[in-house]
């Protein structure tokens, strides 16, 4: 077994975030150390309630901190139309607020990094607001984490004529994202929509989860329905992309990423949406306009989706 990764999870606990917590808890090479909430897939309070529900299901007792309820600047865009108003598909689960540490999400991220420098990995699954606020407390924060892996970004500039899914986590707080990509770090890994959108939990994989025994697989399938309702409008099939779980998979097993590029990432906008982009074209050239210098980010550009999906289903089916 590979070395255990001790993971601090920052999450806007929607459906694929909950799947990610199930996946991490089922991997013998992962230990969830603490969890902070943030707005995004649902309101921050619902994200916290969902953390409590999932950790109780898992029998997991870890520190939980309530994080940002809105972006550093601008207006929050809550994705209730994707994840249900409560973030877990509006299934009517009993979701009391869990016991929390009393510190903010940003303060939790800073405290743990100072208490255990070089030991922890930070996995960011939602808007980057808590990370941006934490960097205001400690600008060297990311140098104290073993690595920071985030689900967000859009990779390098795409092939002309190609459209990508919205980079929702960056678009929800571009100011925080700019701070994250500019900060000094040991290792920052961007797992963006350029690779997550094609990592598909298809009908066969969903059927395997439905057939699996146990409360974890049953819960994973229960919360899928609202997600499937949304994504059927994209592809005409009741299938979903594994956005957040893929980021966790790459944190634990970097070989799931079969190609990447290290380079500067900028947050750019077309006046409508903000995206985090590697400042490279599909041909590996700099973009045709000036961009800001930044420390290198490891930007994943291709993944072994088949192997990851098989692993995800196997872990949740145990």
Whole-number Å distance between alpha carbons of 63 and 195: 31
- Bridge partners of 188, per DSSP, are 148
Residues in CB range of 49: below 8 A, 6 or more apart: 86, 95, 96, 97, 98
Neighbours of 198 (CB within 10 A): 13
Whole-number Å distance between alpha carbons of 283 and 187: 24
Strands (DSSP E) found in 166-264: 188-191, 200-201, 240-241, 257-263
Instruction: Report the catalytic residues.
Output: 243
Whole-number Å distance between alpha carbons of 127 and 274: 12
Residues in CB range of 211: below 8 A, 6 or more apart: none
Q: How far is CA 95 from CA 48, 57, 91, 299, in A?
A: 9, 11, 11, 36
Residues in CB range of 292: below 8 A, 6 or more apart: 182, 264, 266
Question: What's the number of CA atoms in the CB half-sphere (13 Å) around residue 91?
Answer: 21
Continuous segment of H or E residues that includes residue 309 = helix 305-317
């Amino acid at each position: 077994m590979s070395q255990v990764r001790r993971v601090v999870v920052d999450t806007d606990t929607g459906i694929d975030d909950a799947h990610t917590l199930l996946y991490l808890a089922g991997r013998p090479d992962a230990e969830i150390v603490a969890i902070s909430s943030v707005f995004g897939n649902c309101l921050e309070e619902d994200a916290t309630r969902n953390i409590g529900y999932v950790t109780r299901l898992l029998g997991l007792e870890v520190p939980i901190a309530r994080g940002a309820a809105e972006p550093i600047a601008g207006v929050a865009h809550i994705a209730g139309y994707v994840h249900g108003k409560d973030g877990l598909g509006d299934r009517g689960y009993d979701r009391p607020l869990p016991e929390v540490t009393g510190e903010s999400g940003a303060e939790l991220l800073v405290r743990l990094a100072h208490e255990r420098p070089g030991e922890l990995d930070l996995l960011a699954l939602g808007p980057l607001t808590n990370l941006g606020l934490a960097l205001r407390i400690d600008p060297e924060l990311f140098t104290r984490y073993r690595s920071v892996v985030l689900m967000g970004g859009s990779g390098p500039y795409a092939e002309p004529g190609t459209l990508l899914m919205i980079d929702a986590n960056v678009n929800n707080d571009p100011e925080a994202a700019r701070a994250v990509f500019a900060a000094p770090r040991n290792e920052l890994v961007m797992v963006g929509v350029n690779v997550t959108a094609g990592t598909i939990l298809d009908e066969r994989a969903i059927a395997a989860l439905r057939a699996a025994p146990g409360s974890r697989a049953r819960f994973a399938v229960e919360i899928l329905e609202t997600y499937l309702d949304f994504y059927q409008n994209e592809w005409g099939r009741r299938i979903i992309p594994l956005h957040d779980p893929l980021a966790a998979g790459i944190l634990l097993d970097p070989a799931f990423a079969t190609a990447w590029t290290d380079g500067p990432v900028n947050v750019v906008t077309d006046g409508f949406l903000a995206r985090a982009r590697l400042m490279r074209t599909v041909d590996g050239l700099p973009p045709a306009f000036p961009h800001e210098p930044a420390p290198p980010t490891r930007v994943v550009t291709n993944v072994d989706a088949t192997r990851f999906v098989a692993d995800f289903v196997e872990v949740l089916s145990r």
